[in-house]
Structure 1
């Protein structure tokens, strides 16, 4: 498995589980718990790679990737997108009305429908 595939696999694991312990618990079978009789010991064996039904992931890797994904998600959310109408000198009332509603349209607060019956000259600007 190359590095890119490894990161994709880790991303899938990180997004699937809230905590590292949840990930470890997913690797433990009921048979493991029956014989070991200790959940903490079963988790340690999975963490060390001696037991488990899936891929071995270190705690540091899990937590670092979890933090990176969260930072990326927050940055994407905070990023302001430039409005299409920004900086344009709009003379047409129709285009000015659309420009006033553009931000609400992008945020999903408003929907503007443009019927096909509008003259093409309004859409040429």
Structure 2
């Protein structure tokens, strides 16, 4: 049997952020009927993990952890990348109102200044 890549498994195109733990991921594939007949949550999880239950291929624990780690790194890169100011590099000398807004833009973005509306 050929090894499958983590992206080949179910939830490959979905975010795993909705699952705090691997157990939550397994639980998402269980139905109330499964729990009713099996009467044991841990047994039901094991069946899902082994591929006997669930819709499609299930991620193994190490694949799940690797995907979660990769998602966290991607999200960290998105949030750490500085966004350029909208007014950067623009000559606003002919537009005093826009120049006043531009002088406040950085402080507003960083939460140091708020814009009041009524």
- Alignment TM-score, normalising by the size of structure 1: 0.62
- Alignment TM-score, normalising by the size of structure 2: 0.65
Residue 64 of structure 2 corresponds to 62
Residue 47 of structure 2 corresponds to 45
Instruction: Tell me the distance in 2 between the aligned counterparts of 1:7 and 1:107.
Output: 40
Q: Which ranges of structure 1 fall in alignment gaps of 5 or more residues?
A: 112-125
Instruction: Tell me the distance in 2 between the aligned counterparts of 1:20 and 1:10.
Output: 15
CA RMSD after TM alignment: 3.4
Q: Which ranges of structure 2 fall in alignment gaps of 5 or more residues?
A: none
Residue 17 of structure 1 corresponds to 19
Q: How many residues get paired?
A: 109
Instruction: Tell me the distance in 1 between the aligned counterparts of 2:44 and 2:10.
Output: 26
Q: Is the 8 A contact 1:11 1:65 kept in 2?
A: no
2:102 is aligned with 1:99: yes
How big is the shift at 1:46? 0.4
Instruction: Tell me the distance in 1 between the aligned counterparts of 2:69 and 2:45.
Output: 22
Between 1 and 2, higher relative CO (CA 8 Å, sep ≥ 6) is seen in 2
How big is the shift at 1:15? 3.0
